[in-house]
Amino acid sequence: MSSSTIENAIAEEASLGDPTEIITGLAPALYNAAVKGEIEPFKDKAEQLHLLLTPTKNTVLHIHIMSFTRESNGSLSFVENILKLNSPLLRQVNNNGDAPLHIAARLGHFNMARFLIQYAKSFYVEIESEVERTRILLEMTNDGKETALHEAVRYDHVYVVKFLLCEDGDFPYSSNAAGETPLYLAAERGNAFLVSHILELCTSPAHGGPNGRTALHAAVLHNNEEMTQKILDKKGALVTKEADNQGWTALHYAAYFGYHGIVKMLLQFNTSVAYVADKQSKRTALHIAAGRGHIDTIKEIINLCPDCSELVDNRGWNVFHFAVESNSDRVVSVMLEFPWLRNLLNHKDKEGNTPLHRIASSHSIIYCLIDNNRVDKMAFNNENLSALDLVLKSEEKIAKREVVKHLEKYGAKRGFRSIIFKEDCEEAREKEYKSLITEIEKSQESHVIVAALVATVTFAAGFTMPGGYNGTEGPENGNAILARKTAFQAFMITNTVAMVLSISAVFIHLSLALHKDKTMFLVYFGLAYLLILFAMGSMVIAFITGTYAVLEHSPGLAITSCIIACFFFLLYYRELKYRIGSTIKEYVQENADKVVPAWILTR
């Protein structure tokens, strides 16, 4: 029967009387009867059943289906009797546009869904095709444009899904208001079982999703190789090239997350997808994998599509430019294993920057690229800047020092093509120096407090002797009892050293506050900082030796206390190794010509 005949039948059912007569509230007795499945109260209301509605326009049929979590013969009998009294209730919807089949599918009532479909087949006898009778319910959508299959898939009701698909596998099931097809919903929820059923039982299921994504995108995002393979087998090679609203194919997402197994699967199915770039930045999957540092993914793409490595994005960046973004020496090292990629080492982007320039501007340190003899260390960009020029021009303080050191070590030099640049560089260095001085001045107060505290503690310890004083009459009256012990002597020496160093640090900070000339500020501040560190170390040693002198007759307790105190030196060593060398010494060396006399640099 034609579709116009179906529409006419639907229109006839829609004329259910005067809308002004609709009652938007059920009496409690009738509501409870609908919940329990008691047909008697409704027998004398056959002509008015479509008017018996709740405030959200649920009919007694809606109420009954919502009230059961598991069907029984009694509930199906009630539904059958209600439909005999008023058959149009089969398609009557509530405020949300939900028909009874929507409710049954949402709640997973398999027997109820099957009964409603079977009843539709027997009721619409004037429609010759059984498929078209079934579609009267299957094609109904609610206000969210969702069919019963959407509802069943959303809530993982496998038996209902399988039944609905078996009833009409040729129906395509288009997207709902959110752009979701049933196949996409199943894939997005990672339900491989439902995806398999939809692909197997539906002739040509729609596979779209929100933001232009497809079910293949969803399967890849779940890193589900089984689901991905089934979608590829059903949908063919073209689905691999379908991109979402930002131009990303499923391969782009697999490369982004480093799912190299799925990357291999997609490329083996259709190698041409490796050459697809996104809409905005023209990045390929290889660019993304290189930028993210996914080594296995990079290998898979290059092995299966070697020439895709020649592609660049809209900035002119090649795969090495992106690899620098990962800040991984290992990534670049792996890429250099492919001989044909070495030709790209000195490739310039639209601004004339080579991958080495990218290292300079991002302050990354990629050793295998910096020390590679194929890399042109004196390449100039469009501003006539070499890589070393570029890093020196930066206003960063700490990060650039290591980069400068390694670039110079492996032959990078300043270009001196622009006199203006030289002046700008000197101005930036002066600005950097002043900025560092300001930051250090802010920390002076805390340094003075620490130095004064150490001086106070050690001064007090010098007169509060471990073990006390000799109170007996004689020549040794008033002397320290433990004065002849080696541990006590070590205590006195280290305690005195700590006090002198801390007081010296306080004195230096006092001098810095009074002097307006900041030429030697950095050197004196570094000296004061070192004095405080050594004072703290001496104070801890004084504590260890003093404790041991007092507890010498209890060796177990004495040794345990000393060992616990020694853990301080783990932090102490780290501070001496990393903090001093990287923040004070290197900056002083960098500015040696204007802030430090030669004798300091030789120390």
- The closest alpha carbon to 590, from 396, 448, 410, 455, belongs to 396
Residue 587: per-residue pLDDT: 47
**CA separation for the pair 289, 166 (Å, rounded):** 42
Residue 17: band (very low, low, confident or very high) from pLDDT cuts 50, 70, 90: very low
Do 180 and 148 form a contact (C-beta atoms < 8 A)?
no
Containing 82, the helix (H) or strand (E) segment is helix 73-85
Q: Which two tokens stand for residue 200?
A: 């197997």
Q: How confident is the model at residue 4 (pLDDT cuts 50, 70, 90)?
A: very low
Provide the token pair at 35. 């919940």
In angstroms, the CA 505 to CA 105 distance is 79
Residue with tokens 């995002």: 221
Kindly report the length of the chain: 603
* Residue of 161, 60, 52 lying closest to 114 (CA atoms): 161
Per the prediction, the chain carries an average pLDDT of 81
Closest Cα partner for 302 from 267, 349, 344, 250?
Answer: 267
Least confidently predicted of 267-271, 494-498, 556-560: 556-560
Dump pLDDT digits (tens) for 97-117.
999 999 999 999 999 999 999
Residue 352 is classified by DSSP as S
For the segment 288-301, what is each residue's pLDDT rounded down to a tens digit? Answer: 999 999 999 999 99
Q: According to the per-residue pLDDT averaged within each range, which of 64-73, 270-279, 484-493 is highest?
A: 270-279
> Is the model's pTM score more than 0.85?
no
Q: How far is CA 417 from CA 408, 420, 430, in A?
A: 18, 9, 21
The residue type found at 31 is Y
Measured CA to CA, the distance from residue 583 to residue 65 in angstroms comes to: 73
Cα Rg of the chain (Å, integer): 40
Q: Is the pLDDT of residue 454 over 90?
A: no
What is the H or E stretch that residue 149 is in? helix 148-154
pLDDT of residue 415: 76
Residue 15: pLDDT above 50?
A: no
**If you write DSSP's letter for every residue of 528-574 in order, what string do you get?**
HHHHHHHHHHHHHHHHHHHHHHHTTT-HHHHHHHHHHHHTHHHHHHH
DSSP 281: T
| Rounded to 5°, angle at Cα 482 from 478 and 488 | 120
Q: Which of 381, 366, 352, 351 is nearest to 320 (CA)?
A: 366
Q: Which run of H or E residues covers position 53?
A: strand 52-53
* 3-state SS string for 287-331: HHHHHHCCHHHHHHHHHHCHHHHHCCCCCCCCHHHHHHHCCCHHH
Phi, psi of 24, rounded to the nearest 5 degrees: -100, 55
Could you tell me which residue, 288 or 565, shows the higher pLDDT? 288
Q: Tell whether domain 1-171 is in CATH 1.25.40.20.
A: yes
Mean pLDDT, rounded, for 543-557: 79
Rounded to 10°, the helix 225-235/192-201 angle is 10
The pLDDT assigned to 258 comes to: 95
Q: Around Cβ 36, how many Cβ atoms within 10 Å?
A: 12
Please say whether the beta carbons of 332 and 321 come within 8 A: no
The more confidently predicted of residues 589 and 321 is 321
For the ranges 121-125, 312-316, 587-591, which has the lowest average pLDDT?
A: 587-591
Domain ranges, ordered by start, for the chain? 1-171, 441-601
Helices (H), 168-259: 182-188, 192-201, 215-221, 225-235, 250-257
Instruction: Report the 10 Å Cβ neighbour count for 73.
Output: 8
With cut-offs at 50, 70 and 90, classify the pLDDT of residue 365. confident
For residue 334, what are the CA distances in angstroms to 279, 298, 415, 531, 560?
A: 28, 9, 31, 47, 50
Which pLDDT score, from 0 to 100, does residue 228 have?
95
Question: Tell me, what's the pLDDT at 494?
Answer: 86
Looking at residue 516, what is its pLDDT? 54
Angle of helix 3-14 relative to helix 130-138, nearest 10 degrees?
50
To the nearest whole percent, how much of the chain has pLDDT over 90?
42
Q: For residues 428 and 421, give the distance between their C-alpha atoms in angstroms, rounded to a whole number.
A: 10
